[in-house]
Amino acid sequence: MRTVLLAAAAVLALSCGGGGKAVRAGAPEATPSWLSEGTGAIRTESGRKLQGVGVASGATNERVRRHQADGAAREQLQGAVDALVRMLARTGESPHDGQAVAAMARKAAAQVSAIRDHWVTPDGDERALAVVEVDEFKKALQGVDGDDRVRREMFANVDRAFEQIARAR
């Protein structure tokens, strides 16, 4: 009976671990590079991305802390997506295009955004990284509902809009 209970407890503990990886900080070299990059339009060796870095502190429950960090990262990412939307809307031919651009860009970003990483500081604060890869965004943009002309303009201008945001950092 005791063995069964221990085995059940071990299975339960492993299955409730949550998503993503959480790294407990031990040394400065363990700090992920995305922390120093921050939120916004980021160019890396692996490609271009919009990212948001969220922070949760003060929560003693690990699941609650993770949930708060993820929510904060999504909020920060939304700010980066909104900056891209503003740049793309400037390329539209009419004021109504701006509304269509915003709707289509937000749908595409929602389809491809993801929480990619977590990091826990020595004092128990948690950082989360939310990302939209630009190439994935462009693929998703081709499939969202909306005006074909506006979508083609957006697709043609995503790279330029990203570069303008990245330079402004």
Answering whether pTM is above 0.85, one says: no
**Predicted local confidence at residue 96, as pLDDT:** 66
**Predicted local confidence at residue 95, as pLDDT:** 65
pLDDT for 76-123, tens place per residue?
Answer: 999 999 999 999 998 766 666 888 999 999 999 999 999 999 999 999
**Predicted local confidence at residue 30, as pLDDT:** 82
Q: With a cut of 50, which residues of the chain have pLDDT below it?
A: 1-20, 25-26
Residue 148 is inside which H or E element, if any?
Answer: helix 148-168
Query: Where do the structural domains in the chain lie, given as residue ranges?
Result: 21-168
Q: How many CB atoms lie within 10 A of CB 143?
A: 10
Strand pairing report for 47-56 and 40-44:
antiparallel
**Predicted local confidence at residue 107, as pLDDT:** 97
